[in-house]
Amino acid sequence: MNFEIWASPEPTVARIDATSVRDQLAETGHEARDADLDLLAGLGVHATRYPVLWEKTAPAGELRLAWAARRLERLRALGIAPVVTLLHHGSGPFSTSLVDPEFPERFAAYAGAVAAAFPWVRRWTPINEPLTTARFATLYGLWYPNAADDRAFGTAIVNEALATLLAMEAIEREAPGSQFVITEDLQAFDAHDSAVETYVAHKRERSFLSIELVMGRLVPGHALYAYLVERCGIAPAVLARVARHARPPDLVGWNYYPNSERALGLDASGATYNVPARERRAISPLPLLRRAHARLGLPFGLSEVHVNADERGRVAWLDARVRDLETLAAEELPVRMLGAWAAFGLVDWDSLLVRRENFVEDGIFTFAGPGATPQPTAVSAAVARYASLAVPSSS
C-alpha cells in the first residue's frame, strides 16, 4: 500500500437554526477526553483530520486556543500529523453566517490567527464539504440559514469558496509551504425518467462546483457560470474575484457513503422520487473516482470511510474501500490516503442532526459519549493492520 492511513473523529458543529447547535465533539465525549489521542496513536496511523473550529475557538471574536494547543501539541508528540479543519458543517459564530457578505474576510482573519499560533501545521482544510454544507443549509433548509432557494445557495457556495481561498492565503503568510486539503462528497445521479434528465445533468455538473470554484474554473463558458449569475444572482465581478485568488488543492479527500449515489425519477403516481441508487443497482466509488480525477487532475483519496453497520459490516466496507484505492493506485492514479472516519462514533446523523433522538453509531472505536471510555472494535484492528502495511508515496 503506497498511501497514508488516517483516522479522525467526527467533529461537526452545525447551526441547525437561529438558536440551536449540534456539537458532535461534545456529544461523542471526544472534546473532554484527551486520552482519545493515545487511542489514535495506538492504531499507528499517519494523520488525523482534526478540528480547530471557528465557532468553538473564537465564538465572540477572541481566540480561545488552550484546548487546540493541548490537542495539537499532543498529536505532534505522538507522531500523528494533524490536518487542521477550521469549519466542519458550520456557519461560523452567531455573529455571521454562510450568506453574510463579510463571511469570507472574517473567516480568513480567523484562519490566519490560528496559523500564527500553530505555524508548524502543514496541512489545512479550511472548510469541510463546502458544497454539502451549502446544499443542506440553503437548498434543503435543514441547517441555518434554513433557506431553500438558488440565490441563497449561490451566495453560500461562493462565500465558502472565497473564504477558503483567502484563508489559505492568510495561512500561507503565517506558515509558508502549507498544503491545501479540500474534502467533498463524492456524488453520482441516475435519471430514471426523461422528465428529470435536465435536473440530473445539473446535479452531476454541480457535484464539482466547490472544487472548480477554488480552482478558478467558474468563468464565462463554464457549464454553471450562467446558473450562478442568472439564477443565483452572483455578480460576475464576484466570480472574477474568486478566480483571481484561485488555488488548486494539493489534495482532494472524497467522502463516499452508501447514499452518495442517488436515483431520481417519477413513480406510478407521477410524484418525483429521490432514493439511494443502491436500491436499484450495485454501487461502487471506482467509476466516480476515475471520473473525478479525469476532470480535476488532482491527487486524491477517500477521507471518510464509515458506514452505519455492525463491526463486521464496517470492516467489510473499510476492506472494500482499501481495495478500491489499491486498484486505482495500480492504474497509476495519484492516490494519497484513506481516512477511517468517526473514530469515536457519531450521533443522530440519520436525521442529518435535525432530530435529537440519540441515534448512536460506533466508529473505529465504540461510541462512549460523555463520561465513558471508547473501546476497541474489529474496525480498530483493521485500521491498525492497514496502517502497518502502508508505505506512503513520497510524491
- DSSP string of 18-49, one letter each residue: SS-EEEHHHHTSGGG-TTHHHHHHHHT-SEEE
> What are the extents of the domains in the chain?
4-389
pLDDT by residue for the chain (395 residues), tens only, comes to 899 999 999 999 999 999 999 999 999 999 999 999 999 999 999 999 999 999 999 999 899 999 999 999 999 999 999 999 999 999 999 999 999 999 999 999 999 999 999 999 999 999 999 999 999 999 999 999 999 999 999 999 999 999 999 999 999 999 999 999 999 999 999 999 999 999 999 999 999 999 999 999 999 999 999 999 999 999 999 999 999 999 999 999 999 999 999 999 998 898 889 999 999 999 999 999 999 999 999 999 999 999 999 999 999 999 999 999 999 999 999 999 999 999 999 999 999 999 999 999 999 999 999 989 999 999 999 999 999 998 887 55
**What whole-number distance in Å separates Cα of residue 311 and Cα of residue 309?**
7
Identify the sign of the CA torsion 9, 317, 43, 186: negative
4-389 CATH: 3.20.20.80
3-state secondary structure of 380: helix
How high is the pLDDT of residue 330?
Answer: 98
Contacts of the segment 381-385: beta carbons below 8 A, 24+ positions apart: 382/315, 382/318, 382/319, 383/5, 383/7, 383/43, 383/45, 383/318, 383/340, 384/42, 384/43, 384/44
Peptide bond into 145 cis (omega under 30): yes
How high is the pLDDT of residue 270?
Answer: 86
How high is the pLDDT of residue 394?
Answer: 59
Task: Name which of 322, 323, 304, 305 is nearest 314 in CA terms.
Answer: 305
